């Protein structure tokens, strides 16, 4: 669905935002396409593109091949030099990435830890990695800031980590401390919510206005929602905690101490144990599950798929999404037996909403949270390109 602009001079900043968001999220576009999709006239688009070019945010290339009659239109692309730093602390590593405004992940560095890092340790690791990249950053990129994907509840307006149970963090001012340590502006949010946004704009959810994203990682299960084309974060940014949805009457507890939840029943740890593995990334775990001919492994996969289906059925009934995207070890479960999952979901979801939904694996793989965290950092720039001075030379 297109974003509509305005031709009035007093909303020039909003029109700049409209054009930059389109080129950032949809990709390189001709001036004629921008004219059609925004509703702005050709001279207004020319002026806006010219201003964004002067700001160093977009570039124009010669027109490509076209079957249209008339003079071909130049192609507008976001600048390859504008970038954001992404950080993802987890129980076994701190990952730092550099992501371009075009969605390309230029670098990703995973610093493994022997135990779950404290906030201070995570900040020190991230700051050290960023310092090691600083020469390249200063010479080759214009960095807008840092986005942090946190496996826990994060207060939206100031990046305070209210509770990251697997990390043992409670009321930690992560964003402020990392900003002090690096000198870059920092934004933080829940990792799964950022994953939902990344898949919506750059992955399986392109063109989708209503989707649910569930991710299974080392810290458990989290989720995010796009409702009517808008990220649904709740009043303070805590929405999407699907992992704490009750799916059984068992005594198993999750990280919050709640019995019988999705996170308690569907776990990476249980999959690794039945496979006889100490550790594995999502791709390795998926391959190990696909390669296994063990009846015990098969039984555990089926048990977890059935519990996952209960949570998905309830979410589909409530939110009526077009798409459910599964990431991490949930995508691995889906890969092993997508048909069983679909049948189990159909048994718990109402026929009408189930008939209009598709369940798919995430497409962005290990780059998912890097792209999602960077999108958080890019937001202020996208909202007001003319007023965002950090990226200027």
Return the closest-CA partner of residue 39 out of 11, 59, 62, 67.
Answer: 11
Query: What is the rounded average pLDDT of the residues 249-256?
Result: 90
Q: pLDDT category, 5, cuts 50, 70, 90?
A: low
Q: What pLDDT digit, counting tens, does each position of 317-363 carry?
A: 999 999 999 998 999 999 999 999 999 999 999 999 999 999 999 99
Averaged pLDDT score across all residues of the chain: 90
**For position 64, what pLDDT does the model report?**
56
Query: What is the rounded average pLDDT of the residues 191-203?
Result: 91
**For position 2, what pLDDT does the model report?**
52
Q: Quote the CA–CA distance of 281 and 278 in Å, as a whole number.
A: 11
Note whether 268 and 216 are within 8 A (CB): yes
Query: What is the rounded average pLDDT of the residues 76-101?
Result: 95
Q: Quote the CA–CA distance of 39 and 44 in Å, as a whole number.
A: 10
- What are residue 359's DSSP bridge partners? 324
3-state helix, strand, coil in the chain (%, to 5): 45, 25, 30
Q: Quote the CA–CA distance of 84 and 145 in Å, as a whole number.
A: 5
The per-residue DSSP string of 63-79 comes to -----SSSSPPPEEEE-
Query: What is the rounded average pLDDT of the residues 289-318?
Result: 97
Does residue 281 have a pLDDT over 90? no
Question: Per mean pLDDT, which range of 40-44, 64-68, 124-128 is the poorest?
Answer: 64-68
Q: pLDDT category, 240, cuts 50, 70, 90?
A: confident
DSSP state of 244: G
**For position 8, what pLDDT does the model report?**
61
Does residue 70 have a pLDDT over 70? no
Query: What is the rounded average pLDDT of the residues 235-241?
Result: 80
Query: What is the rounded average pLDDT of the residues 243-271?
Result: 93
Q: Measuring CA to CA, how many Å separate 350 from each of 228, 312, 334, 347, 359?
A: 20, 11, 21, 8, 15
Three-class secondary structure of residue 167 per DSSP: coil
Does residue 207 have a pLDDT over 60? yes
Q: What pLDDT digit, counting tens, does each position of 362-391 carry?
A: 999 889 999 999 999 999 999 999 887 644
Ramachandran class of 165: left when φ > 0, alpha when ψ lies in -120 to 50, beta otherwise: alpha
Query: What is the rounded average pLDDT of the residues 54-58?
Result: 94
**For position 66, what pLDDT does the model report?**
46
Phi, psi at residue 99, to the nearest 5°? Answer: -125, 130
Tokens 């998905």 sit on residue: 312
């Amino acid at each position: 669905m297109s974003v509509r602009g305005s031709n009035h001079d007093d909303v020039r900043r909003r029109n700049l935002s409209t054009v930059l968001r389109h080129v950032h999220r949809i990709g390189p576009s001709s001036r004629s396409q921008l004219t059609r999709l925004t509703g702005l006239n050709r001279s207004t688009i020319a002026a806006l593109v010219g201003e964004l070019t002067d700001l160093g945010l977009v570039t124009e290339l010669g027109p490509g091949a076209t079957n249209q009659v008339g003079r071909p239109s130049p192609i507008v692309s976001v600048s390859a030099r504008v970038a954001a730093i992404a950080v993802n602390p987890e129980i076994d590593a701190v990952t730092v990435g550099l992501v371009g405004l075009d969605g390309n992940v230029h670098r990703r560095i995973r610093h493994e830890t022997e135990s779950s890092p404290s906030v201070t340790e995570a900040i020190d690791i991230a700051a050290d990695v960023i310092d090691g990249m600083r020469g390249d950053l200063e010479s080759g990129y214009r960095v807008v800031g840092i986005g942090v994907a946190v496996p826990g509840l994060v207060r939206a307006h100031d990046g305070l980590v209210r509770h990251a149970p697997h990390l043992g963090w409670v009321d930690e001012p992560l964003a402020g401390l990392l900003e002090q340590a690096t000198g870059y502006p920092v934004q933080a949010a829940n990792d799964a919510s950022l994953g939902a946004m990344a898949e919506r704009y750059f992955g399986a959810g392109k063109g989708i206005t209503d989707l649910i994203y569930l991710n299974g990682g080392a810290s458990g299960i989290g989720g995010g929602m796009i409702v009517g084309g808008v990220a649904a974060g709740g009043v303070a940014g805590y929405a999407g905690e699907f992992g704490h949805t009750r799916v059984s009457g068992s005594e198993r507890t999750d990280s919050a101490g709640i019995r019988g939840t999705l996170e308690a029943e569907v776990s990476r740890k249980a999959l690794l144990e039945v496979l006889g593995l100490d550790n594995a990334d999502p791709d390795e775990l998926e391959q190990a599950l696909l390669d296994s001919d063990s009846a015990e492994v098969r039984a555990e996969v089926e048990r977890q798929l059935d519990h996952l289906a209960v949570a998905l059925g309830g979410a589909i009934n409530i939110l009526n999404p077009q798409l459910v995207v599964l990431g991490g070890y949930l995508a691995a479960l889906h890969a092993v037996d997508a048909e069983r999952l679909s049948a189990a979901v159909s048994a718990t979801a109402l026929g009408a909403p189930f008939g209009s939904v598709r369940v798919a694996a995430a497409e962005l793989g290990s780059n998912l949270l890097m792209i999602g965290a960077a999108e958080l950092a890019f937001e202020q720039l996208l909202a007001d390109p003319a007023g965002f001075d950090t990226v200027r030379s």
